[in-house]
Amino acid sequence: MLIVGGGYVGLFTALRLQRKLRRGEAEIVVIDPEPYMTYQPFLPEAAAGSISPRHVVVPLRRVLDKCEVVIGEATAIDHAKRTATVKTLATEEEGTGAITVPYDELILAPGSVSRTLPIPGLADYGIGFKTVEEAIGLRNHVLEQLDIASSTRDPEVRDAALTFVFVGGGYAGVEALGELEDMARYAARYYHNVSPDDLRFVLVEATDRILPEVGRDMGRYAVRELRGRNIDVRLGTRLDSCENRVAVLSDGSRLPTRTLVWTAGVKPHPVLAATDLPLDGRGRLVCTTALKVDGVDHAWAAGDAAAVPDLTATEPGRECAPNAQHAVRQTKVLAQNVLSSLRGKDLKDYRHKYVGSVASLGLHKGVAQVYGTKLKGYPAWFMHRAYHLSRLPTFNRKARVLAEWILAGLFKREIVSLGSLENPRAEFELAAGTGRHPEAS
């Protein structure tokens, strides 16, 4: 049994299967480019320093002790032949080319990747926010901008360093903005010539609302809350260009900035296009309500990669939203259906009951809509933390995150930039006389 992807769906499905499979009934192979699963809802807090980066990731080999974990990237899948083409670190070192992994049952859960647009300058200056590496890199970058602003005498360089533009008003963009704005304004107090009021944060959203998942009323409250913190929220506005470190918006604004964070949506993983399985117009796998790939035997999918009909929707033809809430819930049905298929039993349809949505707007601030009840401020922020802590895999990670929150409440924030971690050999190369500057590697 082959599971492609070690994210929400891959990890939780493999966990349930390894617990319920009988001895000798099946072997599970999990393939993912990283040796860990990233719990993405905690990335904003990791970027702000509230949680250690190593505690927002779950090591696959430690958790999936009854599975074979292969660290590599599936580049193509030939389901007719029941084979997957996989590139690993070893194949790159050996120069032997990709390996072929055979399977009997396939569970496709590669997740999604950032959706970018052909905007001039975006590939050169944009910063993503989907991985733990990007989150920590962004934290280091923001703190480095304060150092630049504190040290320069050039007002244009200073203004650009203290202007932070976030594009995308969904969960990722708003929560990252809220946490980093909190952190940056706190850090500014330790610079003698940088005031918290000198920092300028801008949120750019192409539609007329932010955080659509929490409802229109709570979305409007979130806008008021952010604007009350002197955050410039631009609704109905697009990013047209960011060449030469100048963000040009569709409303005619020109914002010189050294920080442009792109969180404007995701798209299906490229491996889906390299399969012989049916895809919809958005490039996702066409699935049944039982989480089988439609019209194909022995192929399953869930999460961002799957277009699953929503049986609870009032409108016909609607599909489940590609979010973490659905992904985690679908794994229960997916694992059970795979077992039922192996054992010749009937399959179960995926049907969810909407509980609500929660979003953080920074420390002690948030919005939520849970079972029809609207929450804001501290109660919503507390609900956000409690919900995601309950969904974090393993007791070990839960305990570590909870301990860090308690310590963070007792002591001051950590505001150290460790940007050199991104180029660990730079100092040695300079000392060895290679002529390379630490920032040139």
Residues 361 and 214 occupy one common structural domain? yes
**In the chain, which residues have pLDDT < 50?**
440-441
The contacts of residue 221 (CB under 8 Å, 6+ apart) are 367, 376
Residues 245 and 158 occupy one common structural domain? yes
Alpha carbon 392 to its chain's center: 14
Structure tokens at 441: 């590697």
Looking at residue 146, which CATH number applies to its domain? 3.50.50.100
> What integer pLDDT is reported at residue 258 of this predicted model?
96
Distance CA(162)–CA(200), nearest Å, equals 6
Coil, strand, or helix at residue 355?
A: coil
> What integer pLDDT is reported at residue 5 of this predicted model?
94
Residues 147 and 275 occupy one common structural domain? no
The answer to whether 24 and 127 are in contact (CB under 8 A) is no
Residues 97 and 138 occupy one common structural domain? no
Distance CA(255)–CA(262), nearest Å, equals 15
Distance CA(25)–CA(33), nearest Å, equals 27
* Helices 324-342, 8-20: crossing angle, 10 deg rounding: 30
Domain C-terminal end among 343, 375, 399? 343
Residue 291's nearest CA partner among 355, 356, 352, 213 is 352
Distance CA(223)–CA(231), nearest Å, equals 9
In order of 70, 280, 288, 352, the CA distances from 307 in angstroms are 26, 7, 8, 15
> What integer pLDDT is reported at residue 315 of this predicted model?
81
Is beta strand 373-376 parallel, antiparallel or unpaired with respect to 366-370?
Answer: antiparallel
Distance CA(424)–CA(441), nearest Å, equals 9
Distance CA(11)–CA(394), nearest Å, equals 11
> Is the C-alpha dihedral spanning 441, 176, 371, 313 positive or negative?
negative
Residue 317's nearest CA partner among 292, 286, 346 is 286
Is 192 inside any structural domain?
Answer: yes
Structure tokens at 399: 């305990």
Residues 224 and 144 occupy one common structural domain? yes
Is 12 inside any structural domain?
Answer: yes
Total number of domains constituting the chain: 2
Residues 27 and 146 occupy one common structural domain? no
Burial 159-197 (b: 16+ CB within 10 A, else e): bbbbbbbbbbbbbbbbbbbbbbbbbbbbbbeeeeebeee
Residues 95 and 200 occupy one common structural domain? no
The torsion angles phi and psi of 104, rounded to 5 degrees, stand at -105, -45
Residues 70 and 140 occupy one common structural domain? no
Is 298 inside any structural domain?
Answer: yes
pLDDT digits 0-9 by tens, 389-406 = 998 988 999 999 999 999
Is 247 inside any structural domain?
Answer: yes
The model's pTM: 0.88
Is 426 inside any structural domain?
Answer: no
pLDDT digits 0-9 by tens, 145-199 = 999 999 999 999 999 999 999 999 998 999 999 999 999 999 999 998 999 999 9
> What integer pLDDT is reported at residue 441 of this predicted model?
44
Looking at residue 26, which CATH number applies to its domain? 3.50.50.60
Is 431 inside any structural domain?
Answer: no
> What integer pLDDT is reported at residue 379 of this predicted model?
93
Residues 256 and 292 occupy one common structural domain? no
pLDDT digits 0-9 by tens, 372-392 = 788 889 999 999 999 899 989
pLDDT digits 0-9 by tens, 421-440 = 667 777 777 788 765 655 54
Residues 153 and 288 occupy one common structural domain? no
Distance CA(215)–CA(222), nearest Å, equals 10
Is 425 inside any structural domain?
Answer: no
In order of 144, 231, 411, the CA distances from 50 in angstroms are 18, 21, 11
Domain C-terminal end among 298, 313, 343? 343
Cβ-in-10-Å burial (0-12, 13-18, 19+) of 95 comes to: exposed
Domain residues for the domain of 379 are 132-264+357-410
Residues 243 and 309 occupy one common structural domain? no
Is 199 inside any structural domain?
Answer: yes
Residues 227 and 151 occupy one common structural domain? yes
Distance CA(395)–CA(189), nearest Å, equals 37
